[in-house]
Amino acid sequence: MHDEPDFLKDCVITEVSDDYENFEMVLKRTKHLAASRGIKASETTVAEALQRAIAEGFVSAYILSPNPPHSTKVEYRTDQLYALWYYVTPHGKSAAKGIQELSEES
């Protein structure tokens, strides 16, 4: 089994692999999936997993707008954690496991 930080990073990558997600949704879904595995995930541990995923090139941060351009890639800043949206990179897309696989991983 992966250690908890790697599992949380895998969860984050998978959560943002199909659509742009804000941190609130990533946090909610990651905590739920982690709890199903007996892992206690907090805002801090999920934020750290997101930061690792970004630093390792699996996820990018964006500002979304109703006007073109609808998404603009930006540099991740911790003080903007809840203001930004997150989406998987091509590298992350190939690493995304899928929720079913994550929940069955042992």
85 — phi, psi (to 5°)?
-115, 155
CATH class of residue range 4-104: mainly alpha
Could you tell me the pTM of the whole model? 0.90
38: alpha, beta or left? (left if phi > 0; alpha if psi -120 to 50): left
Per-residue model confidence as pLDDT tens for the chain (106 residues)? 458 999 999 999 999 999 999 999 999 999 999 998 899 999 999 999 999 999 999 999 999 999 999 999 999 999 999 999 999 999 999 888 776 677 665 4
